[in-house]
């Protein structure tokens, strides 16, 4: 009779961190959106890939000018990362966070309104 190999403690820890990070990412969306709205009133932050090792977030704005204001804002990026540091995420995860800034204006103009194509 064969027995399935039990996951190692390392595998269990990775799974637990991945599951925990998904929850952290979902809760962080609202906080990061609040931070971004201090600069641009009409924007949204969405987690696109809540998976480790490269979590990916989208910051959506209405106009290119609003997108550019947020995209070039180093203080905002530091604040975004602080959201995860406050939740005790390991530094290697925090440094691996990826943020894409995109505007509805660009998506409509360059991608016929198709967000999927715009984010490829």
| Domain range enclosing 73 | 9-118
Report yes or no on 90 lying in a domain.
yes
- Distance (Å, whole) CA 79 – CA 26: 16
Q: Residue 119 has what DSSP assignment?
A: T
Report yes or no on 53 lying in a domain.
yes
- How much is the pTM? 0.82
CATH assignment of the domain containing 29? 3.30.300
- Distance (Å, whole) CA 88 – CA 28: 13
pLDDT at residue 9 in the model: 45
Report yes or no on 68 lying in a domain.
yes
Whether the Cβ atoms of residue 111 and residue 118 lie closer than 8 Å to each other: yes
Total domain count, the chain = 1
Would you say the C-alpha torsion 37, 39, 42, 44 has a positive or negative sign?
negative
Report yes or no on 29 lying in a domain.
yes
Query: What average pLDDT does this structure show over 16-38?
Result: 90
pLDDT at residue 14 in the model: 54
Query: Which of 4-8, 67-71, 97-101, 110-114 is least confident?
Result: 4-8
pLDDT mean across residues, the chain: 89
Report yes or no on 41 lying in a domain.
yes
């Amino acid at each position: 009779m064969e027995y399935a190999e039990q996951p190692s403690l390392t595998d269990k820890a990775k799974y637990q961190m991945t599951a925990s990070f998904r929850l952290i990412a979902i809760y962080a969306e609202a906080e990061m959106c609040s931070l971004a709205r201090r600069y641009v009133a009409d924007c949204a932050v969405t987690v696109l890939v809540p998976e480790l090792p490269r979590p990916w977030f989208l910051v959506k704005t209405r106009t290119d000018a609003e997108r550019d204001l947020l995209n070039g804002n180093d203080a905002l990026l530091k604040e975004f990362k602080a959201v995860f540091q406050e939740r005790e995420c390991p530094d290697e995860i925090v440094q691996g966070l990826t943020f894409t800034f995109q505007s509805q204006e660009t998506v409509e103009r360059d991608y016929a309104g198709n967000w999927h194509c715009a984010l490829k």
